[in-house]
Amino acid sequence: MTSTTTKIAGRPDRYSTGSVLLHWLIAPLVLVQILLVSAADATEGPQAGEYMGLHKAIGLSILVLTLVRIGWRLAHPVAPLPAVIPAWQRWAARIVHFLFYAILIGMPLGGWAASSAGGRDIDWFGLFNWPLLPLPLDRELAGTFMDMHEAGAKLLYVLIGLHILGALKHAFTDGDNTLRRILPFLPPKP
């Protein structure tokens, strides 16, 4: 059995069903993260704390889902991009995807490290306290991790913009099937 048999509707030019599901699970969670931080910044007191608590729980969930996605991708290689796509665009796509994985791992780790160094518990959706990393209690260290976390957020915004612009370019300017590789409900263009 080849990896092409796991592609959507048996089509080797699409991402596998698992890749599509993980993409469309992680992407909205990332957007929710942005909204939660904005809501926390716009409020004060316990309400802001609740938003940030949810932000932490979702962030750690994104970390786990991203690790699953990487494992899935290693077991189910991505179908090659169409031959008509120029080499520089293939290269750019690989870099953006790599940076997405790095950010989706690095940001939650940075937030986890900041909470751990700050001695702040992480409540995972009211089910249990996520274990803190074995770091010294050090507010300055926590601040350093938080600065790195916030710098990662800025890079994430740039990556999201590039990713969306690239998808729209392929869909509307180039008119190719690149965007349809990850959208399970759109048939390929002839």
How far is it, in rounded angstroms, from Cα 20 to Cα 146? 31
Which range of 56-70, 158-172, 176-190 scores highest in mean pLDDT? It is 56-70
- If we measure between CA atoms, which residue out of 188, 184, 189 comes closest to residue 8? 184
- Written as six digits, the tokens of 59 are 């962030």
pLDDT over 90 (residue 154): yes
Beta bridge partners of 128: 124
pLDDT over 50 (residue 3): no
pLDDT over 70 (residue 172): yes
More reliable by pLDDT, 82 or 32: 32
Give residue 106's pLDDT.
Answer: 97
Banded model confidence at residue 137, pLDDT cuts 50, 70, 90:
very high
pLDDT digits (tens, 9 = 90+) for 23-65: 999 999 999 999 999 999 999 999 999 999 999 999 999 999 9
Q: Is 78 left (phi over 0), alpha (psi -120 to 50) or beta?
A: beta
pLDDT over 90 (residue 128): yes
HSE (side-chain half, CA atoms, 13 Å) at 162: 15
pLDDT over 80 (residue 20): yes
Give residue 2's pLDDT.
Answer: 37
Banded model confidence at residue 84, pLDDT cuts 50, 70, 90:
confident
In this structure, the number of other CB atoms found within 10 A of the CB of residue 133 comes to: 13
- Written as six digits, the tokens of 176 are 């190719």
Q: Is 119 left (phi over 0), alpha (psi -120 to 50) or beta?
A: left
List CB contacts of 26: < 8 A, sequence separation 6 or more.
Answer: 62, 65, 66, 69, 104
Give residue 190's pLDDT.
Answer: 64
Q: How many residues does the chain have?
A: 190
pTM of the model: 0.88
Chain mean pLDDT for the chain: 89
pLDDT > 70 in the chain, percent: 91
